[in-house]
Amino acid sequence: MGGARDTTEVIDAAIHISGGQVTVNVEGDGIDSNGSQTYTGGTVTINGPSTYLNNSVDANGELLLNGVNIAAAGSGAEMFKVPSEKSTNGYLRVVNLDVFTPGRTVQVTDTETGAVVANYTVVTSGVQLFFLSNPSLVKGNNYTVYTVSEPVQEGSTTLAPGAVEVGTYAAE
């Protein structure tokens, strides 16, 4: 039997990222496990997937997000893996928008305070899903997503001039 095994069976396998900086550029699934995935720190950036029926974060078991900064943009809106309710991070899921084109920066602000909580530069074409989770996202609070045509420093805490509002979303 050759090639990868297509299974939705949860097996005794796990991915655990607890720190550092991980960047993944993919056409197919990004970080993929037939078991669980646990993120407890660090920064994870996933550029892609760029092909249909794939996902940036693909786990058949539990997806736990505690203290990690994770951002992903790619296709795969139809394959989205919902993080576990046990996660301490909130998350945003923005789907099917033509505004996330390569070279644009996505900025996310706390709707109440206006504070920038994340910046992400899109590098993948055909983005159908923007996924963000970090400790600043509080479940149930509202966040406004913007796009900017100019580059923005990753750690910028101010909204860039000329930012265009995409919409307001509640963190889950």
Name the pLDDT band for 10 (thresholds 50, 70, 90).
Answer: low
140: left (phi over 0), alpha (psi -120 to 50) or beta: left
Which pLDDT tens digit goes with each residue over 101-143?
A: 999 999 999 999 999 999 999 998 888 889 999 999 999 999 9
pTM of the predicted protein model: 0.88
Determine the pLDDT at residue 50.
Answer: 79
Residue 126: burial class (beta carbons within 10 Å; 0-12, 13-18, 19+)? middle
Straight-line distance from the first to the last Cα atom of the chain, in angstroms, rounded to the nearest whole number: 41
The rounded distance, in Å, linking the Cα atoms of 108 and 106 is 7
The rounded distance, in Å, linking the Cα atoms of 75 and 107 is 19
